[in-house]
Amino acid sequence: MFIGEEAVQFEKPVHFETGFTPEELEELLSFLESNEPASPNNSAGSDGSSRAIYTADERKQRRMISNRESARRSRWRKKRHMENLTDEVNRLNIENQQLKNRLSLVMNQCHVVWRENQQLRSESEALWGKLLDLYWTLAAMQSQS
């Protein structure tokens, strides 16, 4: 390496004679070993789509990666759902406590009003009794005169 030059880093090891990575060499060899004739239509599926040909191991690897990603998304959705449910439970517990407090307050007020009502009824009966006595007294006085 010369001064001032940066080291070149490859993502995958490259065979210096061919310039291909080991995976690319394997793919080429598997293609050459297959009995299919080389033609422009071979790289496309039978329906004419532009899907690349993958080996069974590559398909398995891609499927495994896809499944892991799907599982990761599923776990994320489940986590979000649980967080939403937990938030809702907490909100409902707070609302429930507030309603219990309001109910307690209303029941206390109801008890106070009920006691006051009982006292007023008792006073009303006493006053009706006194009024009745006054009527009897007035009737007796009128009958004597």
- Say if 31 falls within a structural domain: yes
CA distance 98 to 96: 5
- Residue 8 above 70 pLDDT? no
- Say if 36 falls within a structural domain: yes
54-104 residue pLDDT tens:
898 999 999 999 999 999 999 999 999 999 999 999 999 999 999 999 999
With tokens 């532009």, the residue in question is: 50
Per the structure, the complete domain to which residue 36 belongs is given by: 8-53
- Tell me if 20 sits within 8 A of 13, measured CB to CB: no
pTM: 0.45
- Say if 22 falls within a structural domain: yes
112-133 residue pLDDT tens:
999 999 999 999 999 999 999 9
CA distance 70 to 83: 20
Separation of CA 145 from chain center: 92
- Say if 133 falls within a structural domain: no
- Say if 34 falls within a structural domain: yes
- Say if 33 falls within a structural domain: yes
- Say if 59 falls within a structural domain: no
pLDDT tier, 40 (very low <50, low <70, confident <90, very high otherwise): very low
Residue 111: both structure tokens together: 């008890």
DSSP symbols for 107-127: HHHHHHHHHHHHHHHHHHHHH
Q: Which residue has the higher pLDDT, 51 or 83?
A: 83
Q: Which residue has the higher pLDDT, 8 or 66?
A: 66
- Say if 82 falls within a structural domain: no
pLDDT tier, 44 (very low <50, low <70, confident <90, very high otherwise): very low
DSSP symbols for 64-97: HHHHHHHHHHHHHHHHHHHHHHHHHHHHHHHHHH
Q: Number of folded domains in the chain?
A: 1
